[in-house]
Amino acid sequence: MIQYLPFKECALRCVMRPMRIEDTPQAKEIDRECFPTQWPTPSYKTDILFGRPTHYLVACEERANNAVEQAKQGGPVLSQLLRKLRHPFCTGEAYGSNQWIIGLVGLWIMAGEAHITTIGVREAYRRQGIGELLLISVIELALMRHSQVVTLEVRATNSAAQALYEKYGFTKAGVRRGYYTDNREDALIMTTDTITSDSFQGRLRRLKQAHAERWGLSRRQIDI
């Protein structure tokens, strides 16, 4: 299923799609940047190859037409400059992928429950609505896979992430003591109500529209 959100002129647009084998080097790079103390990293290739119950979506950079023309003419493109500053010798092609991956999210689905296993955005692309777009997409994937609730764990000190999840209807349901191995920090368990309910669906529609109005176009192909 491909969905289009309203277009707004901007240099950075996103394509949301399922992760591919060739994306895994970039995915691991994002893991190292977002979760430097996490070990081991998720087994992306194994999950993709053997159809395990964990599914991954990636956010890829897509340039608007005017930005492409600027790039052809040698003009400045902010996102391109940010990429070059952080990775002066690397492109998507260098990783075996023809797209630059800027964020990812993982979803484990079992017995009507969808659990978000990971969500991260490259530092240079944060505060541009990408993390929220990943959350929207993974909730939609859970709906497509006939899940009834979505759950996750979040660090007890990560108030910004908790605020985003609460915005989308997640509530605190418990605590996992010493869950994070790097510093033994507690994890808060957060869960939604039934995501097929009218109240949740109404909230999701309003938030999707608000995100589109603020951040502009994103093209999402999330069916796996």
pLDDT at 89 over 90: no
Topology (CATH level 3) of domain 2-131+217-221: Aminopeptidase (3.40.630)
Amino acid letter, residue 119:
I
Tokens linked to 148: 């009834």
The domain segmentation of the chain, as residue ranges, is: 2-131+217-221
Give 137's Cβ-side CA count (13 Å radius): 36
Residues in the chain: 224
CA angle 123, 124, 130 (to 5 degrees): 75
- pLDDT at residue 63, as a whole number: 57
Tokens linked to 183: 């510093």
Distance CA 114, CA 42 (A): 17
Max CA pair span of the chain: 55
Instruction: Provide DSSP, 83-151.
Output: HHHH-TT--TGGGT-SS-EEEEEEEEEETTEEEEEEEEE-GGGTTSSHHHHHHHHHHHHHHHTT-SEEE
Distance CA 79, CA 63 (A): 9
- pLDDT at residue 69, as a whole number: 40
At which residue do the structure tokens 């002129």 appear? 9
Average pLDDT, rounded, for the chain: 82
pLDDT at 5 over 70: no
* pLDDT, tens only, 20-71: 999 999 999 999 999 887 766 778 888 888 777 889 999 998 754 444 344 3
* pLDDT, tens only, 174-216: 999 999 988 899 999 999 999 999 999 999 999 999 999 999 8
Q: Which residues are catalytic?
A: 153, 165
* pLDDT, tens only, 107-161: 999 999 999 999 999 999 999 999 999 999 999 999 999 999 999 999 999 999 9
Q: 6: pLDDT confidence band, cut at 50, 70 and 90?
A: very low
User: For the chain, how far is it from start to end, CA to CA, in angstroms?
Assistant: 9
- pLDDT at residue 84, as a whole number: 46
pLDDT at 171 over 90: yes
